[in-house]
């Protein structure tokens, strides 16, 4: 029981439940209908919860990659640009604009896009692990250049595609549930196996807590950092593919715009400390679902979507303050003072 209480997953899980329940109550009062209503059409489930699951999966995938990087006390702010690159590579191949010898093979397109993502991650890894550049600065290079590279691939145009097989990545269903959900689940399982069954998980935590002492105690810090940034690059590429399959094309200027912020937000919501150390993929995934829930709720209630950003900001501030021991101590001080006055 104590172990359960102390686990990282419990807080974001409760937060998600509370947010959803609050929405349900509010929605019933305002519209007299259930927020959770799920209907069955053509053997697929439809409803807001399914929407959250489908659209939230992108954030889940991104957050899993981001969790690893943040747990090493690093950051990767280039993920949005990597998404744009991967999306434009995949869409250009499917549309036979580049590499026409593949005849628009979707499988090959996805594979190559993921490879490109790995390459981007390797570049970040090179700067961070080899040259010891600060992660924010190192990944800023790709953030600036990434969209330019994506435009280079797609020749500065918005690539629209016409391939049912590619659409299936985002719009398809399996056993009534959307495909992105399964992709996210698969990635989550892989990430957990990678960190729990190998030494990587321990190495990540150790690097995050103190990279210098990790190195002295024999952990191959730079090799591990390479692996972590490459993994994050692949995850970003996968997110880009799912996103482009959803909008049926790649728009290099807008694909993945500000996603780095959402990714970091998801991880922060999950409770992984942003200055490294303890981490949990499951709680990041829950955090990602919270991020999506905020957007879905705002649409469901008919509030202007621009307000989403304000809500996100407020939530970040609340979470940061709740994580800050100094703030909590001050808060306690205020309440105990009030209590003593009342007494």
Residues that bind other proteins (CB under 8 A): 75, 127, 131-134, 136-138, 140-145, 147-149, 151-152, 156, 257, 261, 264-265, 268, 274-275, 304, 306-314, 316-317, 320-321, 323-324, 326-327
Q: How far is the CB of 111 from other proteins (least distance, A)?
A: 26
Other residues' Cβ atoms within 10 Å of the Cβ of residue 176: 13
Q: How far is the CB of 105 from other proteins (least distance, A)?
A: 28
Measured from the CB atom, is 275 or 340 closer to other proteins?
275
Measured from the CB atom, is 183 or 294 closer to other proteins?
294
Q: How far is the CB of 191 from other proteins (least distance, A)?
A: 23
Q: How far is the CB of 178 from other proteins (least distance, A)?
A: 27
Q: How far is the CB of 216 from other proteins (least distance, A)?
A: 16
Measured from the CB atom, is 53 or 267 closer to other proteins?
267
52 and 293 Cβ atoms separated by less than 8 Å? yes
Q: Is the dihedral of CA 274, 282, 203, 132 positive or negative?
A: negative
80-105 burial, b for 16+ CB within 10 Å, e for fewer? bbbbbbbbbbbbbbbbebbeeeeebb
Measured from the CB atom, is 32 or 302 closer to other proteins?
302
For residues 60 and 66, what is the distance between their CA atoms, to the nearest angstrom? 10
Instruction: Record the tokens describing residue 333, joined without a space.
Output: 């001080």
5-17 burial, b for 16+ CB within 10 Å, e for fewer? eeebbebbbebbe
Instruction: Record the tokens describing residue 51, joined without a space.
Output: 């929407």
Measured from the CB atom, is 49 or 274 closer to other proteins?
274
């Amino acid at each position: 029981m104590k172990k359960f209480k102390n686990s990282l997953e419990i807080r974001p899980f409760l937060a998600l439940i509370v947010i959803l329940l609050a929405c349900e109550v509010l929605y019933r009062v305002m519209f007299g209908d259930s927020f959770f209503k799920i209907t069955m059409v053509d053997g697929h489930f439809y409803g807001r919860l399914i929407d959250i699951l489908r659209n939230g999966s992108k954030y889940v995938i991104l957050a899993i990659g981001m969790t690893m990087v943040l747990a090493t006390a690093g950051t990767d702010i280039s993920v949005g640009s990597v998404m744009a690159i991967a999306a434009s590579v995949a869409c250009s191949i499917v549309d036979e604009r580049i590499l026409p010898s593949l005849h628009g093979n979707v499988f090959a397109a996805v594979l190559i896009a993921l490879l490109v993502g790995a390459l981007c991650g390797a570049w970040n890894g090179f700067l961070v692990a080899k040259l010891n550049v600060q992660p924010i600065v190192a990944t800023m290079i790709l953030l600036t250049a990434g969209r330019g590279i994506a435009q280079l691939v797609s020749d500065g145009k918005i690539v629209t595609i016409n391939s049912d097989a590619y659409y299936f990545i985002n719009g398809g269903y399996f056993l009534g549930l959307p495909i992105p959900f399964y992709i996210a689940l698969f990635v989550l399982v892989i990430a957990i196996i990678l960190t729990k069954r190998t030494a990587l998980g321990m190495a990540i935590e150790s690097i995050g807590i103190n990279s210098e002492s990790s190195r002295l105690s024999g952990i191959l810090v730079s090799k591990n950092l390479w692996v972590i940034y490459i993994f994050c690059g692949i995850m970003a590429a996968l997110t880009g593919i799912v996103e482009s399959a959803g909008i049926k094309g790649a728009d290099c200027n807008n694909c993945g715009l500000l996603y780095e912020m959402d990714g970091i937000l998801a991880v922060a919501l999950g409770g992984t400390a942003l200055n490294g150390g303890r981490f949990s993929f499951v709680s990041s995934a829950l955090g990602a679902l919270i991020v999506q829930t905020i957007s879905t709720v705002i649409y469901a209630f008919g509030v202007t979507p621009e307000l989403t950003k304000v809500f996100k900001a407020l939530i970040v501030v609340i979470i940061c303050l709740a994580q800050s021991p100094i703030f909590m101590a001050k808060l306690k001080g205020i309440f105990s003072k009030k209590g003593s006055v009342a007494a």
